[in-house]
């Protein structure tokens, strides 16, 4: 594929066109700066998992329909599979690996263990990233609200009652 020239715009500004081959991308993940050479088409999920060895975020569907890839971008929960890594330059990405502090699991992680909120565990990192965000958003009022606002995270093992119990435990504790 031939690389097209720079785009000259009305204002005379030139937009830097990057790719299609690997380009240098700077990502801030869990507070650490990373520089990686990736094609612009690479998703945030693939960049995290394949390049940064942060395999917490899972690939369930790669189509936005399961929530296993849930991470935070600038503090808001988002789907890493439908996000291009290159579009996260200048934004702060947080994955489940970034929740623990000084070797101490996050309260929600501990609650998931205490409440037995997973079986196979595949959906769990996404559930936890959503669950922590849910409480911060103020959407954990009652079980109906928790259900609705956790509905973006599918659990094939149907651990839902226990996931809700973990969320209630953290909600009532904070």
Q: Which is nearest to 2 in space by CA: 12, 17, 15, 24?
A: 17
Residue with tokens 């954990």: 140
Q: How far is the CB of 30 from ligand FES (least distance, A)?
A: 19
Residues near 160 by beta carbon (within 8 Å), at least 6 away in sequence: 147, 150
Cα 113 off chain centre by:
20
Among 20, 21, 22, 64, contact with ligand FAD (rule: CB under 6 A):
64
Stretch that binds another protein, among 27-35, 77-85, 92-100, 159-167 (CB under 8 A): 77-85
Told to check if 60 binds another protein by CB under 8 A, we report no
- Given a contact cutoff of 8 angstroms between Cβ atoms, the answer to whether 37 and 25 are in contact is yes
Stretch that binds another protein, among 19-27, 95-103, 109-117, 161-169 (CB under 8 A): 19-27
Among 28, 34, 36, 40, contact with another protein (rule: CB under 8 A):
40
Among 32, 103, 144, 173, contact with another protein (rule: CB under 8 A):
144
């Amino acid at each position: 594929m031939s690389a097209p020239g720079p785009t000259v715009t009305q204002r005379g500004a030139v937009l830097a066109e990057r790719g299609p081959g690997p380009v240098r991308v700077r990502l801030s993940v869990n507070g650490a700066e990373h520089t990686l050479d990736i094609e612009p088409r690479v998703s945030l999920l693939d960049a995290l998992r394949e390049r940064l060895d942060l395999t917490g975020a899972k690939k369930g569907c790669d189509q936005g329909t399961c929530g296993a890839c849930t991470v935070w971008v600038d503090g808001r929960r988002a789907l890493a599979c439908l996000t291009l890594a290159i579009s996260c330059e200048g934004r702060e990405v947080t994955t489940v690996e970034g929740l623990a502090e000084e070797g101490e699991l996050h309260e929600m992680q501990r609650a998931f263990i205490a409440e037995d909120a997973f079986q196979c565990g595949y959906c769990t990192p996404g559930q936890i990233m959503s669950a922590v965000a849910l409480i911060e958003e103020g959407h954990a009022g009652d079980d109906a609200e928790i259900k609705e606002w956790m509905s973006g995270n599918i659990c094939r093992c149907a651990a839902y009652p226990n996931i809700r119990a973990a969320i209630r435990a953290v909600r009532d504790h904070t």
